[in-house]
Structure 1
Amino acid sequence: MSFFNLHTHRYTQEAATLELVNQYPWAFNEDYEKFSIGIHPWYLDESRLQQDLDFMTIKMSDPNCLAVGECGLDKRIEIPMEVQQVVFEKQLLLAQEYNKPVVLHCVAAFDEVMATKKRLNITVPMIVHGYSKNEQLAKQLINNGFYLSFGKYLVRNPGLETVFLSVPDDRIFLETDTIDEDIADVYALAAKYKKQTIAELQQTIEHNFQQVFKTS
């Protein structure tokens, strides 16, 4: 593995790249090699919730299932927060039971996510995907045990460089999410910001991958 893509919605099968492809229980594709599976708050449907959770439970035993998610909380959508919270907690408990890391979607609800992690005593790694906020929040998340994944906003917003550089090497991942750029392009930009070679950054991400996903 030369590159690890923490979160993508496109299965590209790029050479020497491990892609963690986002999957939904109601639209599962058996062709994807490695995947995460979760109920995104945008697409939460209470009428099929138990069916989706049952399907996720089955997939927890699949060796190609590396994580739960993306899942989380989003205050900018119409689905009530109390409904989102219940579904989020069910997925966190599933991840804890099966010892799977969690890929997080979080919009304007970081305090709630941190509080939920603490209240439920979630000990599996939790990774905030697509981080785009400030350095102060990044530090708070790091201090509470979270990892941060950078991609779309790192590419689109040069102002995020300072925030990215403030995150310890052992807490970062890189991703493409929905952007057209390849993961190699994201690595190249991140290495430039860190004043490292791409090979050095690859080694860092590889180490983090081994730590979080317990893969040898």
Structure 2
Amino acid sequence: MSSIENKDRTLEEQKHEFCGHSLNITMFKGAALGVSAYIWGPGLVLCQYFQDEKFDFTGKKVLELGSGTGIVGILTVLLGGDVTMTDRPRILSQIEHNVDANVPAESRARSKISALAWGTDQDKYPTDFDFILGSDLVYSPSQFPDLLQTLLYFCSEKTTIYLCSNLNARMGAYDFHNELLPKHFDSETLHQIGGDCVYKLTKKTPLETIDRV
């Protein structure tokens, strides 16, 4: 890990290796990015899961919500995906920096970076994604309605959602995953390390949804 002072922020770099790819991820600490300026455990656990399960996203359209540093989305690009990484506007420069540092020029066309506010402007995006990814999105109950609305908007019958959350350290995370999401999605716990759990979600059929009401 290394850090460099840069005007009003500290650039701190972490190196990780997944799926045979060395990732040099820079965190823009002190740049008013809040929690988005950190690499959190759930992101690393989701990357490790992709490695363990030998994921190949070649030819697949992928949307990442709350990309933060971009580590999950960048790995997904390197695994062949056509990836749109999203977050709040002020976070995008951090993602752009890490994409430039880690994605080869010949693969850059498969990485897109765009602002997306949950529950507000998701309808500006297409709904033909094969995969939706998110790590450590579930940490503030006030955001749960908007996050749920966004997931429902993007999830079609062909979409698979992978979320990784820390159930022990994030307020309301257990109830979100085990009570709220199962009302709308078929949910499966795939992997767990400590409090970090990887979930797979698919859209319920209309009949299943009625049965849950």
**Same structural fold, with TM-score higher than 0.5 when normalized by the shorter chain:** no
TM-score by length of 1: 0.36
Report which structure shows greater RCO (CA 8 Å, sep ≥6).
1
The structure where helix makes up a greater share of residues is 1
The structure where strand makes up a greater share of residues is 2
TM-score by length of 2: 0.36
